[in-house]
């Protein structure tokens, strides 16, 4: 496996991408802020420079590359596999209610006997990430892992885009299937947030919409906790997510971020489904605790001695983490890079939702406020 990366400010020239072309990539990942990624002509240049490669990417709330985190640029990462196969599928999302069916369509399009993993990039607004994952589970063969994330737009939660050879679109979901016994993908996910305040029972919800906590309008309770921060909702909700607890109040290891509010209904729109009759508890974090969480995720995904040579460490981290860390945001990327060492290329983005298994189990979840890692490597031919 060979990996090359370029970090570009503005529209790339063919000369900027020449080192990536040298490895004859089958896959090119493109992560960029809204303005450069949607600039006229970008997709046409990528198609011309990489005529044989699949293209996949999305807008971000911050681009992650081997050199750290940037805003307003494009990180382009090219991958060449010697022993493994990949295939790309896309579908348009009609509306949020179409999320599960969209996952089914993509899963059916990619299913084959030697499929081992699917990487998915979805739009970051007007999508139910939990339902999308359920659709993949409905249609993928048993044992196939799923990871990826939902596009960002700098924390605006207004308009996001995904990219493929099929176009640049606000509705398109892109999925890449990896097949063959030589491709190895390992995962890690951890958050580092700390709970505060009382546990509240979910007394009314529907999917990812939270109407009541302890019999009271959820928005009213949330605003009381936020105090002065409430005037900046929904953006300020990134700083105070919910921890999800089961009916027995046990932690599920999942966090939910507020994507929107409905003043008339007194409800909160969360980034993923909520456990009906479960419990929620507010959380907060410091930079140090979030960096510790990133290290824990990296240690879950790292398999020393398993794969030799170059590899890709794909990071999908939450925009909320970036807001908390501020100017220290590079620290979580540097901490991950230190675990994997110099042979690993770092790429990824800050997202509106992260998709990953938990502790390398087969069950995949939509995460919020979490550092998720997919380590992609290829074993030498035996």
Question: What would the pLDDT profile of 87-98 be if each residue is shown by its tens digit?
Answer: 999 999 999 999
Residues of the chain falling short of pLDDT 50: 360
pLDDT score for 362:
60
The pLDDT assigned to 102 comes to 98
Q: Which helix (H) or strand (E) holds 201?
A: strand 200-206
308: left (phi over 0), alpha (psi -120 to 50) or beta: beta
Distance of CA 334 to the CA centre of its chain: 18
pTM equals 0.91
pLDDT at 260: 85
pLDDT at 308: 60
Q: Which residue in 182, 112, 173, 174 sits closest to 144, CA to CA?
A: 112
State phi, psi for 49 to the nearest 5 degrees. -75, -35
Q: How far apart are CA 157 and CA 320, in angstroms?
A: 12
Q: Which helix (H) or strand (E) holds 344?
A: strand 344-351
Q: What is the pLDDT of residue 359?
A: 62
| Beta-bridge mates of residue 7 | 75
How far apart are the C-alpha atoms of 352 and 346, rounded to whole Å? 19
Residues whose CB is less than 8 angstroms from the CB of residue 177 and which lie 6 or more positions away in sequence, other chains included: 86, 87, 88, 89, 110, 112, 115, 117, 118
CA–CA separation, 321 and 370 (whole Å): 8
Tokens of 355: 């998709």
* Per-residue pLDDT at 253: 79
DSSP SS3 for 111: coil
Cβ atoms within 10 Å of 224's Cβ, excluding its own: 10
The count of C-alpha atoms lying within 13 angstroms of the C-alpha of 23, restricted to the half-sphere facing its C-beta, is: 19
| Confidence (pLDDT) at 252 | 81
Helix (H) or strand (E) run with residue 70 in it: strand 68-70
Contact residues for 210 (Cβ-Cβ < 8 A; gap 6+): 202, 204, 218, 267, 268, 269, 270, 274, 280
pLDDT of residue 254: 86
Please calculate the CA angle 233-235-237 and round it to the nearest 5 degrees: 70
The b/e string for 120-145 (b: 16+ C-beta within 10 A; e otherwise) is bbbbbbbbbbbbbbbbbbebbeeebb
């Amino acid at each position: 496996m060979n990996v090359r990366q370029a970090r570009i400010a503005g529209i790339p020239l063919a000369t900027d991408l020449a080192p990536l072309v040298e490895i004859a990539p089958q896959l090119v990942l493109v992560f960029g802020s809204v303005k450069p990624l949607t600039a006229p002509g970008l997709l046409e240049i990528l198609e011309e420079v990489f005529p044989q490669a699949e293209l996949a990417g999305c807008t971000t709330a911050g681009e992650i590359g081997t050199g750290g985190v940037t805003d307003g640029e494009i990180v382009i990462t090219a991958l060449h596999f010697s022993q493994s196969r990949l295939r790309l599928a896309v579908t348009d999302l009609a509306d949020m209610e179409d999320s599960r069916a969209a996952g089914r369509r993509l899963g059916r399009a990619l299913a084959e006997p030697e499929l081992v993993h699917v990487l998915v990039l979805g739009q970051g607004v007007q999508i139910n990430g939990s339902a999308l994952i359920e659709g993949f589970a409905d249609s993928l063969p048993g044992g196939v892992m799923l990871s990826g994330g939902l596009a960002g737009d700098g924390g605006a939660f207004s308009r996001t885009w995904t990219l493929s050879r099929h176009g640049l679109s606000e509705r398109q979901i892109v999925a890449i299937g990896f097949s063959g016994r030589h491709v190895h993908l390992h995962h890690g996910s951890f958050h580092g947030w700390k709970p505060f305040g009382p546990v509240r029972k979910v007394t009314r919800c529907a999917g990812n919409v939270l109407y009541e906590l302890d019999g009271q309008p959820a928005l009213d309770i949330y605003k009381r906790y936020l105090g002065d921060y409430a005037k900046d909702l929904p953006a300020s909700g990134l700083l105070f997510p919910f921890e999800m607890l089961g009916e027995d109040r046990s932690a599920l290891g999942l966090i939910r971020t507020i994507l929107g509010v409905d003043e008339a209904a007194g409800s909160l729109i969360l980034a993923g489904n909520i456990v009906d009759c479960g419990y929620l508890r507010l959380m907060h974090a410091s930079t140090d605790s979030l960096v510790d969480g990133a290290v824990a995720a990296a240690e879950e995904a790292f398999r020393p001695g398993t794969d030799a040579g170059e590899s890709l460490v794909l990071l999908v981290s939450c925009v909320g983490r970036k807001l908390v860390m501020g100017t220290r945001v590079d620290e979580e990327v540097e901490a991950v890079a230190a675990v994997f060492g110099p042979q690993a290329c770092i790429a990824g983005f800050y997202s509106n939702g992260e998709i990953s298994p938990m502790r390398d189990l087969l069950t995949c979840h939509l995460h919020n406020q979490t550092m998720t890692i997919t380590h992609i490597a290829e074993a030498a031919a035996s």
